[in-house]
Chain A
């Protein structure tokens, strides 16, 4: 026997599991059951009824429910296989999904969050004092982190928090009689697309400000040109997706205030500013944090999440209800603060996704104020180390790189030179990275920078992890020049190979449920 050779810098031997697993509906066998529920025995039925006859008629199904009929072990096997075919956050060096803040979620928080599974939101307040205390204190922490005056945890995601902010903007202007006049929301091109999409859903016209071609920051002159008495709000991320922090954001905020508009700070990704900069000092009226990003609760692919939204004093009446209040002895749910006519009242049932809030609460409690600051310092240091190493790969560069523009927690790079030299795009490299078990995100569409790559390490990876990630990117860039066909045909060792994307922007061809699939593709 020889020593195992570990001299390779990249995992050329990686191969993801591929189970060729059908859709669960295809696994259905008529009559097969996961659980056989016995009918109530005569004695039980006599004592409390049979459990079915008492149901009112309008609640009873007329037809059989169309669910897969499948035994427990087959269900378990199915989902275990799917989980193995997923490139999840716990199995890869999660640097490649820039803007998503894919940090490590400590497992002890997961254990605590599971305790909530046995509670019900309609339980009597007296029986859930601990949970209410958690919500109450979480509000205090978020106030401290942002400088704003009150928070809600009701939104079930970042976009819903932005939707809530836009709704509160509308409510506020209704309350002062300016809703008809203020029809526009201004955002920037490098802010998250939801900063435009969510206010558009609430009926606002959206005006984008483009970045200054030299600095990459929002063009102040353009901002002033479009800011007017028609402006309801300015919605912006800072840093934006480029990883550039705008030290002059207050100038934009002040100008928006001078025309009577409100300012909303998208801090979905707040990893660059914990303990460093706050919404309050920059003059914002509202902000939101994604607890499933900065505050370590796992991301759920549109699954359980929380966009914690906060406001300044004058906007408290527009927050959704209820909030948790404390009289020194007891925690209780409170609705009295709300403006009944113009307030938002609800964006989601009950108190939002409680386990997500609890995980974030645990995370904050474990770190404390200095720990939070350390998170940001480490995330920024990691990113700047990553930046230096990425920029040393031939063919990779970044825009707005004039020496004064240090990146904070993430960066959007470009591999335009590689594409010019080899014809290989950042989308091709994205697929090739799957062959090494890693993500590699390009950018939102349409691309504003050519052949973009957006990376964000967060505070979680070690130097060794970052080195492995960059070595893998460098390995693939070298392949672009030496063996381009391998990159173009990638992925080769992933769960699936290249998909035929011809039909992807044709909604008529989409089948997003089993029912639609069966209707469209008989």
Chain B
């Protein structure tokens, strides 16, 4: 029997249709403006993609609007693991996610937006296979499929073993207050494991020797090979940079900045002044990758690297790493700098030889 988890954030997307740029804390305002809840309808679009599996699948979900109603309306065998009465909230998403992970379902489908993804990450971390059905107003996190129908299709491929690989995708969150004021400030909240959408061999294509994962491993090996004695290395946030820490066997962090020296961890999850304190007197290098979907090198998900730290490092000591596919996805657009200091941005702008594999570099501009 295939066990599918389903979590619907019933109010996701409510704000969008009435000109609000998100729904966090704005449910009542949205309803007052006449918004119609559509999240369950869109979740059903995704579930229709799983209808071929109906006879061999059970959907575990929450009561009513949390998923039960949608699953039952399409005729799926449905079991309720989490009861709620009246209005639902982020607490329900988190509680249900924990129960589904504990139950060990094959894949948790969750319908919502960036806020919902952040709740999922908080509840179950990056290990359990999940997939987002996009129903929210703003969706920057690549944990979501591109459309509800695409989510259904990808879930079916995954559950039937046609796509068995998982990849860690970013959970990004925008400060909605700032976004409503027209300022975009993306934070990296964590990672979720989702079925791999794209491989280095895109679509169904000829074989390629290196999968994206192997490319990331080769990059990590190259960084480690070139590490110098008694130089402090700051390892920035991101899956590609995390491979470096992982490969060294160190207990670093995925979304934090870690400081290592002579292949030993000095301290995990360091920030601003603490970095300068720890590295005092020793040469400092910084390993960064491209984060945040839009190609940010600095300023998204790595605010711990303050202008003071970056000044201490200097452009020549910044090592940028990224797979060829990741850079290609930027379509030739430059890497972005937003350190909070115009002067620092200016000093760090220019070309970097991005490490893209064993002895492979790609010249990329940062600005």
Contacts and interface: CB of A to CB of B under 8 A. Distances in A.
Interface of A: 189, 196, 200, 204-213, 219, 221-223, 225-226, 425-428, 442, 445-448, 498, 501-502, 504-505, 507
Nearest to B351: A225
Interface residues of B, number: 34
B203 interface: yes
A446 B162 contact: no
A502 B353 contact: no
Smallest CB-CB A-B distances: 9 pairs: A213-B332, A225-B351, A504-B207, A427-B203, A446-B325, A222-B363, A425-B203, A208-B362, A207-B361
B199 interface: yes
A480 B261 CA distance: 56
Contacts of A200: 359-360
Interface string B323-357: 01101100111000000000000000011010010
Given A442-B205, A445-B206, A505 B362 contact: no
Interface in B173-211: 199-211
Contacts of B365: 219, 221-222
Contacts of A445: 200-202, 205-206, 208
A140 B352 CA distance: 44
Contacts of B205: 427, 442, 445, 501
A445 B209 CA distance: 10
A498 B203 CA distance: 13
A213 B201 CA distance: 23
12 contacts: A205-B361, A206-B360, A207-B361, A221-B365, A222-B364, A427-B202, A427-B203, A428-B203, A445-B208, A446-B325, A501-B201, A507-B209
A339 B364 CA distance: 39
B324 A226 contact: no
Contacts of B229: none
Interface in B205-223: 205-211
B164 interface: yes
B363 A225 contact: yes
B181 to A, nearest CB: 30
A504 B201 contact: yes
Given A222-B365, A446-B328, A206 B199 contact: no
Given A206-B359, A222-B351, A212 B202 contact: no
A231 B203 CA distance: 36
A151 to B, nearest CB: 30
B362 A448 contact: no
A504 B205 CA distance: 9
A204 B359 contact: yes
Contact of B362 (A207, A442, A507): A207
A109 to B, nearest CB: 31
Nearest to B222: A205
Given A210-B363, A426-B203, A505-B211, 7 more contacts: A200-B359, A208-B356, A219-B363, A222-B364, A222-B365, A502-B162, A505-B209
Contact of A206 (B163, B333, B361): B361
Chief secondary structure at chain B's binding surface = loop
Contacts of A223: 363
A482 to B, nearest CB: 19
Contacts of B363: 207-210, 219, 222-223, 225-226
Given A425-B203, A445-B208, A212 B332 contact: yes
A446 B333 CA distance: 17
A507 B361 CA distance: 25
A448 B203 contact: no
Contacts of A505: 199-201, 207-211
B204 to A, nearest CB: 5
B339 to A, nearest CB: 21
B361 A446 contact: no
A47 B345 CA distance: 90
A206 B354 CA distance: 11
B328 A448 contact: yes
Nearest to B350: A225
Given A200-B359, A225-B351, A427-B205, A210 B364 contact: yes
Contacts of A221: 351, 365
Contacts of A212: 332
Nearest to A213: B332
Contacts of B200: 445-446, 505
A207 B362 CA distance: 5
Nearest to A206: B360
B34 to A, nearest CB: 31
A506 to B, nearest CB: 8
Contacts of A209: 363
Nearest to B358: A200
A422 B360 CA distance: 36
Interface in B159-179: 162-164
A314 B61 CA distance: 75
Instruction: Identify which of A204, A427, A447 gathers the most chain B CB atoms within 10 Å of its CB.
Output: A447
Contact of B351 (A226, A446, A447): A226
A221 B207 CA distance: 34
A501 B204 contact: yes
A214 to B, nearest CB: 9
Contacts of B359: 200, 204-206
B332 A210 contact: yes
Instruction: Identify which of B204, B327, B331 gathers the most chain A CB atoms within 10 Å of its CB.
Output: B204
A135 to B, nearest CB: 36
A317 B92 CA distance: 77
Given A208-B363, A210-B363, A504-B207, A447 B202 contact: yes
Nearest to A183: B359
Nearest to B364: A210
Nearest to B213: A505
Nearest to B162: A502
A222 B366 CA distance: 11
Nearest to A227: B363
A520 B101 CA distance: 36
Contacts of B163: 502
